[in-house]
Amino acid sequence: MKTNQQNYFEEIEVGNIIGPKIINIDRKQLVMYAGASQDFNEFHYDDEVAKKAGHKGIIIHGALKSAWLAQLMIEFVGVEGNLRQFNVSYRGVDFPNENLKYYGRIINKFIDNSMGLVEIELSLENSEGKITTPASAVVELPIKNN
Amino acid sequence: MADKDTITDEMRSFIGLKTDPKSYIVEKHSVEHFATAIGDQNKLYFDEEYAKEKVGGLLAPPTFIRKFKPNKLEKNFPDPFSNLVDGGSSYIFHNKIFVGDEITVVSFLKDLFIKNGSFGEMMFKISHTSYTNQHGVLVAEQEITTIIYGKGEKTFLS
């Protein structure tokens, strides 16, 4: 589906895929996110602390992964739509310098109170194709013939 | 049984205790830094003219509000484990959050339970946070699941 111009409720079909996008970030980006989000837990930038916590090295902030998935939704709904609900579950940790893939799939659409609502299943996969971060969203899309 | 052993009455007494409200301004440069840190170049966060025309003003990305931490309670929760992972979040967005808004944050512990998983015994802490703007409008809610586990040297900040 388009993420660079306005999507309308009528154009969306169940099964449509949003994305995928591939992201591969470095330690610097994690440090930037730590600063920007005020999350200074050291296992996001200090390998020794991450290893003590049982990881192979520094891990990506769960909230940063959720920010990417939310960004995908904001691009999908465009300026006329809204992100209404967003649930994200961190089942597995992810690491910098690995290709991560994320995408959405339309699973339902319905009209409620003259608003076009769309349910989306979201996934973020690690480089081995394992979904580490399943998520879901309910978004509102504009209706063309309103 | 495990719940009874690990979750003490003192821990349970934290459930439902609301933090004192804490207010934050959604600052323009703070939003820019956040959007840059997540790799998001959406003009709604950067271009004032564009944002004004499209949605009425510069916006903050949805998960930006997460940086607005609630006040701490007078007493610290007696964490029985040494390690922490973020289990996930559920957000409800009621209204857009604009640059310049003043957001008041209140949080409370909603639930506490034990599960056994890959790290052994783990405590799940479910907290609910509300975000209200300067007009008294509830703009967003977030429910966070925090998982703590392990008996080693403490590796997280509380």
Specify if B114 maps to a domain. Answer: yes
pLDDT digits (tens, 9 = 90+) for B92-106: 999 999 999 999 999
Interface test with B, best of A6, A52, A58, A122 (most B CBs within 10 A): A52
Specify if B115 maps to a domain. Answer: yes
What range does the domain containing B118 cover?
A: 2-72+80-149
Beta-strand relationship, B102-117 and A100-112? unpaired
Does A61 contact B38 at a Cβ distance shorter than 8 Å? Answer: no
Task: Examine residue B78 and say whether the peptide bond preceding it is cis (omega within 30 degrees of 0).
Answer: no
* E-assigned strand segments in A5-91: 17-23, 82-89
Specify if B154 maps to a domain. Answer: no
Specify if B35 maps to a domain. Answer: yes
Q: Which pLDDT does position B15 carry in this prediction?
A: 97
Specify if B156 maps to a domain. Answer: no
Q: Which pLDDT does position A3 carry in this prediction?
A: 62
B25 inside 8 A of chain A by CB: no
Does A71 contact B38 at a Cβ distance shorter than 8 Å? Answer: yes
Q: Which residues, numbered 33 to 52 in chain A, qualify as contacts with chain B under a Cβ-Cβ cut-off of 8 Å?
A: 33, 35-43, 49, 52
Question: What's the rounded mean pLDDT across residues B61-77?
Answer: 95
Chain A contact set for B92 (CB, 8 A) = 84-85
Please give, rounded to a whole number of angstroms, the shortest distance from the CA of B32 to a CA of chain A. 9
Q: How far apart are CA A84 and CA A66, in angstroms?
A: 15
Q: Which pLDDT does position B154 carry in this prediction?
A: 81
Q: How far apart are CA B89 and CA B145, in angstroms?
A: 6
Name the residue among B61, B67, B90 with its Cβ closest to that of A38. Answer: B67
Q: Which pLDDT does position A13 carry in this prediction?
A: 97
Q: Which pLDDT does position B157 carry in this prediction?
A: 75
Specify if B37 maps to a domain. Answer: yes
Specify if B45 maps to a domain. Answer: yes
Determine contact, residues B155/A52, Cβ cutoff 8 Å: yes
Name the residue among B44, B83, B87 with its Cβ closest to that of A79. Answer: B44
Burial of A121 (0-12, 13-18, 19+ CB in 10 A): middle
Interface test with A, best of B31, B38, B69 (most A CBs within 10 A): B38
Mean pLDDT of chain B, nearest integer: 93
Does B37 contact A35 at a Cβ distance shorter than 8 Å? Answer: yes
Name the residue among B39, B55, B93 with its Cβ closest to that of A84. Answer: B93
- What pTM was computed for the model? 0.93
Q: Which pLDDT does position B85 carry in this prediction?
A: 84
- The number of distinct structural domains making up chain B is 1
Name the residue among B38, B86, B93 with its Cβ closest to that of A62. Answer: B86
Specify if B21 maps to a domain. Answer: yes
pLDDT tens string for chain A (146 positions)? Answer: 656 689 999 999 999 999 999 999 999 999 999 999 999 999 999 999 999 888 999 999 999 999 999 999 999 999 999 999 999 999 999 999 999 999 999 999 999 988 999 999 999 999 999 999 999 999 999 999 76
Query: Under 8 Å CB-to-CB from B135, ≥6 apart: which residues?
Result: none
pLDDT digits (tens, 9 = 90+) for B103-126: 999 999 999 999 998 778 999 999
CATH of the domain at B51: 3.10.129.10
Q: Assign B151 a pLDDT band (cuts: 50, 70, 90).
A: confident
Q: Which pLDDT does position A73 carry in this prediction?
A: 98
Other C-beta atoms closer than 10 Å to the C-beta of A102 total 22
Q: Assign B1 a pLDDT band (cuts: 50, 70, 90).
A: very low
Query: Under 8 Å CB-to-CB from A28, ≥6 apart: which residues?
Result: none
Helix axes A62-77, A27-37, angle to 10 degrees: 80
| Poorest-pLDDT segment among A83-87, B106-110, B128-132, B152-156 | B152-156
Task: Go through the domains of chain A in sequence order and give each one's CATH number.
Answer: 16-24+61-141 (3.10.129.10)
Determine contact, residues A30/A60, Cβ cutoff 8 Å: yes
Question: What's the rounded mean pLDDT across residues B32-48?
Answer: 97
Helix axes B28-37, A27-37, angle to 10 degrees: 150
B27 inside 8 A of chain A by CB: no
Question: Which chain A residue's Cα is nearest to B59?
Answer: A79
Q: Which pLDDT does position A117 carry in this prediction?
A: 98
Asked if the model's pLDDT at residue B137 lies above 80, the reply is yes
